[in-house]
Amino acid sequence: MHALVTGGGGFLGRYIVEQLIERGDQVRSFGRGEYPELSEAGIEVVRGDIANEIAVADACAGIDCVFHVAALPGVSMRAKPYYDVNLSGTLNVVAACREHDVSRLVYTSSPSVVFAGEDQAGIDETAPLALDWLREHRSYYSHSKALAEEHVTNASGEHLRTCALRPHLIWGPRDGHLVPRLLDRARKGRLRRVGSGTNLVDMIYVENAAEAHLLAADALAQEDSPAAGKAYFLSQGEPVNCWGWIDEILGLAGLGPVERPISLPAAWRIGHVLESLYKTLQLSGEPPMTRFVAAQLAKSHWYDISAARRDLGYSPQVTTEEGMRRLGEWIQALETQ
């Protein structure tokens, strides 16, 4: 097929691009950067802004399947960029798919779209989107992603089949977000164990997340696809202790475990104050703590992936142990540069 990957130069997007190329598909990448390494690999690189509907429409011309991965992550208190990129950008992608008769759209969502500040243990896709809670607690990333996911799944029909994937805590070599931030905060002495330290979370190795996207695209190729119009949780298939896993990542870089604790109520109060300061003063960057982050670090959030196994044929091919070994090699290579 001829595939378009928005955010093809990013962490997950690049793995999707590489897996598509490896199996013989033709790939076009759309993003703001030049990414010469993609061009050198024979990939068509188109530069543009996902919030620009004309640029997005042009990028979708002649495409069979779109993997819409591009998004603005984080917990900044400046709301508008999240809705411009994550919501308006997705609306542009859906409209462009319809304009150019693209038959399949796989959207990268997030499990945080259903997170409402309480423990989630083994829940499935029947859990409702937490739109009100996310908006009230200023989680602009998750709220904008939830609205975008809703638009994508509702857009599925006879001529355009869509689905949304919810990979949780993507990690692995070339990570530019989760692991580097953990290591940076640990080195600066800014990591605190929030809550009891017993909460369980799901996560997913990046190559498994990428493969799930290809499986979803193939499932949508069926006219009576069971995946059409649905959302799917994705993970390694077994939750881990959140803080034990964080300590393991720190250990790969030769750092000690997180030892200084803070209670969830205290972290929640600090987050609320910092949110208000950043919002009122329009400060750039992200608050060191927010209410959403405090809840995510203290509460359990892991999910039932049986629907993805059934409808997509998903099964994590890279084990957590093997993934951690590869992550360790990557971290060590960075340390020696």
Question: Known catalytic residues?
Answer: 141
Bridge partners (DSSP) listed for residue 309: none
| Cα gap 27→129, rounded to integer Å | 32
| Cα gap 264→233, rounded to integer Å | 26
CA distances from residue 202 to 181, 302, 307 in whole angstroms, order as listed: 19, 5, 16
Q: Which amino acid is at 231?
A: A
DSSP state of 38: H
| Cα gap 218→209, rounded to integer Å | 15
If one counts every other C-beta atom within 10 angstroms of the C-beta of residue 184, the result is 11
DSSP state of 28: E
Instruction: Please give the backbone phi and psi of residue 79, each rounded to the nearest 5 degrees, phi first.
Output: -70, -40
| Cα gap 307→285, rounded to integer Å | 37
Q: Which of 81, 136, 143, 72 is nearest to 112 (CA)?
A: 143
User: Residues in the chain, how many?
Assistant: 337
Q: Which of 250, 268, 261 is nearest to 335 (CA)?
A: 250
From edge to edge, which strands make up the β-sheet containing 120-123?
Answer: 120-123, 301-303, 200-201, 240-241
